[in-house]
Structure 1
Amino acid sequence: MSQPTRYPAEIADTPAAQDADVPSGKPGKSFFGSRFVSILHLFGGNIANSLLMLLGTALAARTLGTEQFGVFVLVLTLGRFSERLVRFESWQPLIRFAASEEQSFDSDRMGSLFLYGLLLDTASCLLAAALTIGGGLLLMQTIGLQSEDLPFVMIFAAAIALNIRGFPTAALRLGGQFRTLAYLQTVSSFVRIMLAFAAFLMGWDILAFILIWTGVQIFDTALFLFISFRSLKRQGVANPLKADWRNLPQRFPGFMSFAWSTNISSTLRTMTQEADTLLVGALGGASSAGLYHIAKRVAKVAMQIGANVQAVMYPDMARLWARLEIHAFRTVTFRLQLALMAIGLAALVATILFGKQALALVLGSEFVAAYGLLIAQMVAVILILHAAPSRSALLSMHRPGVVLIVAALSTVLFFITAFVTMPIYGALGANLAHIAFGLLTAVALDVFWWRESRRAMEGTTD
């Protein structure tokens, strides 16, 4: 039986079986150096992808104008809100369980594990598509859309139904293919830019942009699935489509409880990260939702850094915890927090100095009104960046319940803040709610992961 290639040799930016270079209790320079290279690749790819997506958004905004662009944003947000409301984030339990299975690697059993994740992804995607259409029918006028906008919602629901993400994400991250993750996503973004530019030149209407975004997302999903199956084959994992599907819950006890915890946590985050745009649309109309979306889209460039770090370090953190190398685990988490905080502060300063000019140059003078929203959103981003390593640490420690409780309390605080401040400050109130959410999340997760890891370290030294 072939053994898994955990870190493919041809991926020069990933550590080839670097686990041996991590001495017990303290990670070596080679550990951080090799992961840093992977993070740089992911960061470069994601920055390029974010800039391409921002350019696509700019083309849509310039072509459609503030009102129709707001409708476009609300349609996309409704679909993404529905998707993330029921998505199970299956990559998290897949990585957690696969890390535990690696020591006694069984190709067929690993194939069944990934099949479990794939089935979970497929079911949640179909449910999300149905929820998108149902939400459009029930909430359309409430969130700032009109009855004639329903066909746009139904078209974009097709992309939601096929947007399988957890399975390919876990396959590529476990395979150490961070360079592939970094640059593969830019392919679909480049295609979207080309089509959006054609729509801009031809002066096409909102239907054309909805079709472009829908078609490109379906293409992107197909591309990721193809690459992920190849990655699993190279790692020695049996084809999940041919794996034994019987008695999956009994063969992998605890998988669904972990998945449910991450699903509920994701649902709570969705209520703050996607429902906020719908709330702005409901209170301020489509134009306000469009401006608010612009601020969030720009700030998302900085948030990609936290996602990149989690993508690279989460598998390693799970392995360190599984091997009871607690001191190394704590060192990695703390250093990541410091680095992300510094990057977030630098991004905030750059936004204050150049944000207004950048909005006018890229989107046009009518979108400069998003400047204040952007600054407030960047403050929230700093807090979310700081919390990202803490969340990965607790998931590695098999404490998804703690993450869930913190997410629930932070979400309650978010909506309390939003409903108090939005009638006074408008869309800015939603940004203030994000700051409150991020502050509670960062502090609470820090307290829990430091306390739990200290107890574990004391237990290993007794």
Structure 2
Amino acid sequence: MISRLASGFRNEPVAQRLLRNLKWIFSSQVAVALLGMIYLAFGARALGAAGLGMLALVESYGRIIERLIHLEPWQAVIRNGSEALEADNDGRFGRLVGLSVLLDLFGGVLAASVALLLVPVAAPWFGFDASQYWLLIAAAAAALISLRATGLALLRLYDRFDLLAKIDTAVAGLRAALAVGIWAAGFGLAGFVAIYVIVSLLNGTAALIAGIREMRRRNQQVRIGAVREALNENPGLLRLMWNSNLAVILRQTSQRFDVIILAALVPAASVGYYHVARRCGDVALRLGRPISQAIYPELTRFAARGELARIGRVVRGVSLGFAAVMIVVLAPVIWQLEPIVTTIFGDTFAPAVPVVAIQAVAVGFYMCGIVMNPALLSLDQDRVMVRIGATSTVLFFVLVVPMVKLFGVAGGAGTHLICNAIWLILCVVILRKSLRQTVVAKEVSS
């Protein structure tokens, strides 16, 4: 797969930079995935299926509110920051970063406030009584400080994927170690909720601190306060920020609200089985997202230079590579899934096996199109991304309730499978059309 990816970059420095970044991201994501499985295994054994289902609801609540309310500016910062750095305009870059920090701060405070206000409404839906309100209050606290988006943009623009990899691995290691300690001490649900809050706050600050240090090394400064000037220097920034976030929100809404919907349709233990399936799927996604993260800055540079054929070659190579990996790896894993699940999580999680299998296939479809979003963004097709996301999200909400009523908790995973397959088809069709239209437009203008 990496060979296919490299073949899309004939410029040797670009290929070397991309593959170096991928090495760091892949290695860190493998470590984070393994550490995440350790955390999940000890969480499952400490809490049981019902307790793990409650923890899943708490985490989903906090993350849904944060995702819906806190619009992340990192994609817009990378797009406009690349132009500022290429032009050696440190002033413009500093003002752009300052604006991004303000947007992150505002988004975190707003998300935490909304989460607090909705606690009396959400708690009864989850089946929590008044004595358990503190669970959702903790989730609101976890959303308060979230400056990671700006930090991500800085470290990716500076090609410091190595530093980002070390930060993510260290935080995941701390989470796994805390889970082992909480399990050994017998603190139960309260301990794991505390882990969630601590890790969220660390993730929200560590990358920005590292990014600002990198700025200082280059004699650049964050310029907070010049909001109007930053907006004038970066026309279309808010539009790109809104559309790129809206596409992700539409995409992740179904991935976050599924747990909330299941809470009203199935017992807490079934939610726990579904949580295991989702987390196992996240392991695979962690191995695929590095491609998307590392490739986006390169695709924006190709688009800026009008090298559209290279964009097409890279997307084809990566997508076919992922398809091959999914076929080779997924089939034997599904064949031996029951002993794998029961060994890791315990015999009580045997009912989760079919849910994990369906979710694995759903993730496979998504992985095959994981570079579609950065490719469409690089071609200024953010509005189209929103329409594709809206289509798959509406389809999910139409199907999920009848699917769960027909097939139980496995129906939730089956709904993801159907929607991911349709999403992939739409992305392929729209990307091919966008590349053809852009080529024709350039030929006409020339």
TM-score by length of 1: 0.90
In structure 1, the gaps of 5 or more residues are 1-21
- Letter matched to residue 113 of structure 1: L
Residue 209 (str. 1) matches residue 192 (str. 2): yes
Report if aligned partners of 1:188, 1:217 keep a CA contact under 8 Å in 2: no
Partner in structure 2 of residue 348 of structure 1? 330
Q: Distance in 2 between matches of 1:26 and 1:182?
A: 23
Residue 75 (str. 1) matches residue 58 (str. 2): yes
Task: Give secondary structure in 2 for the equivalent of 1:162.
Answer: coil
1:297 to 261, 270, 279: 279
Q: Distance in 2 between matches of 1:437 and 1:245?
A: 40
Residue 440 (str. 1) matches residue 422 (str. 2): yes
Q: 1:204 to 1:359 in 2, by over 3 A?
A: same
Residue 113 (str. 1) matches residue 80 (str. 2): no
Q: Distance in 2 between matches of 1:217 and 1:167?
A: 15
- Summarize deviations over 1:430-450 as a string: whole Å, max 9, x none: 111111221121111111111
Q: Distance in 1 between matches of 2:190 and 2:132?
A: 10
Task: Give secondary structure in 2 for the equivalent of 1:43.
Answer: helix
**C-alpha RMSD of matched pairs (Å):** 2.1
Task: Give secondary structure in 2 for the equivalent of 1:140.
Answer: helix
Partner in structure 2 of residue 4 of structure 1? none
1:321 to 303, 312, 320: 303
Q: 1:343 to 1:149 in 2, by over 3 A?
A: farther
Q: 1:54 to 1:136 in 2, by over 3 A?
A: farther
- Summarize deviations over 1:282-338 as a string: whole Å, max 9, x none: 211322111101101011111123310011100000001001111112211211111
How many residues align structurally?
439
2:29 to 43, 46, 55: 46
- Summarize deviations over 1:360-407 as a string: whole Å, max 9, x none: 111101112111111111111122112221111110111110000000
Report if aligned partners of 1:74, 1:145 keep a CA contact under 8 Å in 2: no
- Letter matched to residue 44 of structure 1: S
What's the offset of the Cα at 1:28?
4.3
1:377 to 337, 356, 359: 359
Q: Distance in 1 between matches of 2:440 and 2:232?
A: 34
Q: Distance in 2 between matches of 1:382 and 1:134?
A: 37
In structure 2, the gaps of 5 or more residues are 1-5
1:401 to 374, 380, 383: 383
Partner in structure 2 of residue 194 of structure 1? 177
For structure 1, which segment, 35-44 or 304-313, has the greater mean C-alpha deviation from structure 2 after superposition? 35-44
- Letter matched to residue 444 of structure 1: L
Q: 1:254 to 1:459 in 2, by over 3 A?
A: closer
Report if aligned partners of 2:247, 2:386 keep a CA contact under 8 Å in 1: yes
For structure 1, which segment, 182-191 or 142-151, has the greater mean C-alpha deviation from structure 2 after superposition? 142-151
For structure 1, which segment, 426-435 or 29-38, has the greater mean C-alpha deviation from structure 2 after superposition? 29-38
Q: 1:234 to 1:384 in 2, by over 3 A?
A: farther
Q: Write the mapping of 1:11-410 to structure 2, written as runs, cut at 5 A.
A: 27-28=10-11, 31-32=14-15, 34-241=17-224, 244-410=226-392
Report if aligned partners of 2:28, 2:169 keep a CA contact under 8 Å in 1: yes
Q: 1:127 to 1:347 in 2, by over 3 A?
A: farther
- Summarize deviations over 1:234-268 as a string: whole Å, max 9, x none: 45532244x63344333322111111112222221
Q: 1:172 to 1:157 in 2, by over 3 A?
A: same
What's the offset of the Cα at 1:101?
2.8
Q: Distance in 1 between matches of 2:355 and 2:40?
A: 17
What's the offset of the Cα at 1:30?
5.8
What's the offset of the Cα at 1:149?
1.7
- Letter matched to residue 129 of structure 2: Q
Q: Distance in 1 between matches of 2:113 and 2:326?
A: 37
- Letter matched to residue 278 of structure 1: I
Partner in structure 1 of residue 3 of structure 2? none
Q: Distance in 2 between matches of 1:293 and 1:161?
A: 24
- Percent identity over the alignment is 25
Report if aligned partners of 2:259, 2:271 keep a CA contact under 8 Å in 1: yes
What's the offset of the Cα at 1:117?
1.5
For structure 1, which segment, 336-345 or 425-434, has the greater mean C-alpha deviation from structure 2 after superposition? 336-345
TM-score by length of 2: 0.93
2:408 to 421, 426, 436: 426
For structure 1, which segment, 390-399 or 281-290, has the greater mean C-alpha deviation from structure 2 after superposition? 281-290
Q: Distance in 1 between matches of 2:82 and 2:418?
A: 34
Q: Distance in 2 between matches of 1:72 and 1:351?
A: 27
Q: Distance in 2 between matches of 1:154 and 1:249?
A: 35
- Letter matched to residue 126 of structure 2: I
